[in-house]
Chain A
């Protein structure tokens, strides 16, 4: 009987030790493999800012935004060219859709949101900014978001500024189909519709952040 007890004890201890070691190993690796953002992540995404020098600006995280957070703000400069603000936004994990990171580029002279791209995607497929611009809901389907989007894209400073001010929400601006169409001919993966929601969140966060920190005071 004592022997049996001893073996049981040994079994349980061995398992417990293995489990603890595994959990510790994973938590260490998780912190090592955690991807933190640097301005290098902005390079090569948008051809108009190729060759720009990027300087990190402290992220102002006074206000929490829903759906994600701004993880990097950098100011890009180049002699004789417009200044740009590059932002990295990380949207929250939504079910099995992992965190996605979006880079957005705003021309600081016109205040126009010129380009958005995925840095890392939580699901397979891609999001094409140009396509979204062409297919965003507008006209008959006018929503505040669509108006804002059109304004943001106009490249005209007063229009852009008005758009940042009037902006309410981008939800519904881009049709679900847009994201699905741009899954690079890969069959739509789980998380495709969540990708759309994450994209809305990313736009909303950037819009709010830019308005709070760069437009409001002017």
Chain B
């Protein structure tokens, strides 16, 4: 079923964009999109965690939890995997690459509670497009890239917004959401 891969890429990245269509990962989208560099750092960190998470949770669910009849432990197991994964990545980065740690490290603790990560682990179980581990990982990878795309685009606009005058009640979150609204309309075209 390799011909499904392009469909998965398109769906995960654009037509079912994590941020703008499924609203997963809105907190970092609003919080870490003030400048392009940090937005890119956050996006990359999320992408890495999303891929590795699906790589671990998909087999755990299908080959351990389901045969044992422990489906009800799904939420606890998934969040535990994500929390430990984030810790481990943080430790490895700290020990091996100082520059990478400086670029991505500060965003890592925020990722545990990022809806997009637990979201992708759950979504690959439901999605009609995902039939095996490869599909799941591709979904995770391009979902993450779609996340990065949205957050980087947003940060570009917010940099401009700083110098613009905004009606008082719309300052802060509301104007950011209206910007996101226009982006969502564009993504809705896919």
Does a CB–CB distance below 8 Å link A and B in the complex? yes
Chain A residues at the B interface, C-beta cutoff of 8 Å: 19, 22-23, 26-27, 30, 93, 95-97, 190-191, 193-194
Q: A23 CA to B76 CA in the complex, in Å?
A: 9
Distance of A161 from chain B, by nearest CB (Å): 38
Bitwise, B102-143 to A at CB < 8 A (1) or not (0) is 000000000000000000001001111000000000000000
Closest A residue by C-beta to B77: A23
CA distance A24 to B76 in the complex (A): 12
User: Is A96 within 8 A of B72, CB to CB?
Assistant: no
B72 in contact with A191 (CB, 8 Å): no
Chain B residues with Cβ below 8 Å from A193 are 128
Q: Given A22-B76, A26-B72, A30-B72, are A96 and B66 also a contact pair (CB < 8 Å)? A: no
- Determine the chain A residues whose CB is within 8 A of the CB of B125 once the complex forms: 95-96
CA distance A208 to B66 in the complex (A): 26
How far is B126's CA from A93's CA once the two chains are assembled, in angstroms?
11
CB-CB under 8 A from B128, the residues of chain A are 190, 193-194
Complex Cα distance, B72 from A22, in Å, reads 12
Number of A-B contacts (CB under 8 A): 23
Report Cα–Cα, A19/B128, bound state, in Å.
33
Which of B66, B73, B122 has a CB less than 8 Å from the CB of A26? B73
Residues of B within 8 Å of A93, CB to CB, are: 66, 71
4 closest pairs, A vs B, by CB?
A: A96-B126, A190-B126, A96-B125, A30-B72
The tally of residues in B whose CB lies under 8 Å from a CB in A reads 10
> How many Å from the CB of B79 to the closest CB on chain A?
11
Separation of A23 and B75 alpha carbons in the complex (Å): 11
Q: With CB as the reference atom, state the residue of chain B lying closest to A27.
A: B72
**Residues of B contacting A194 in the complex (Cβ-Cβ under 8 angstroms):** 128
> What is the chain B residue whose CB lies nearest that of A193?
B128
The closest CB in chain B to the CB of A30 belongs to B72
Output the least CB separation between A51 and chain B (Å): 38
A190 to B129 alpha-carbon distance, docked (Å): 10
Bound complex: CA A191 to CA B72 (Å): 19
Known A93-B66, A93-B71; contact A190-B76, beta-carbon cutoff 8 A? no
List chain B residues, Cβ under 8 A from A23.
73, 76
- How far apart sit A96 and B76, CA to CA, in the bound complex (Å)? 16
Name the residue of chain B whose CB is nearest to the CB of A93.
B71
Measured between C-beta atoms, what is the minimum distance from A2 to chain B in Å? 24
Q: How far is the CB of A206 from chain B (nearest CB, A)?
A: 24
With a 10 A CB-CB cut-off, give which of A22, A26, A96, A190 has the most chain B CB atoms. Answer: A96
Q: In the complex, what's the smallest C-beta–C-beta distance from B130 to chain A, in angstroms? A: 8
Q: How far is the CA of A194 from the CA of B127 in the complex (A)?
A: 10
Which residues from A are CB-within-8-Å of B71?
Answer: 93
Residues of A close to B127: CB separation below 8 A: 190
Q: Told that A23-B76, A93-B66, A93-B71 touch, could you supply 4 new A-B pairs with CB distance under 8 A?
A: A19-B76, A22-B76, A96-B125, A190-B127
Look across to chain A and name the residue whose beta carbon is closest to the beta carbon of B130: A95
Which of B73, B122, B126, B127 counts the most chain A CB atoms within 10 A? B126
CA distance A26 to B76 in the complex (A): 10
Which residues of chain B are near A22, meaning CB under 8 Å?
A: 76
Can you list 20 A-B pairs, Cβ within 8 angstroms, ordered by A? A19-B76, A22-B76, A23-B73, A26-B73, A26-B76, A27-B72, A30-B72, A93-B66, A95-B125, A95-B126, A96-B122, A96-B125, A96-B126, A97-B126, A190-B126, A190-B127, A190-B128, A191-B126, A193-B128, A194-B128
* A193 CA / B73 CA spacing, docked (Å): 26
A23 to B122, CA, bound (A): 20
Among residues of A, the one whose C-beta sits closest to the C-beta of B125 is A96
Give the residue name and chain of the B residue nearest to A26 (CB).
B72
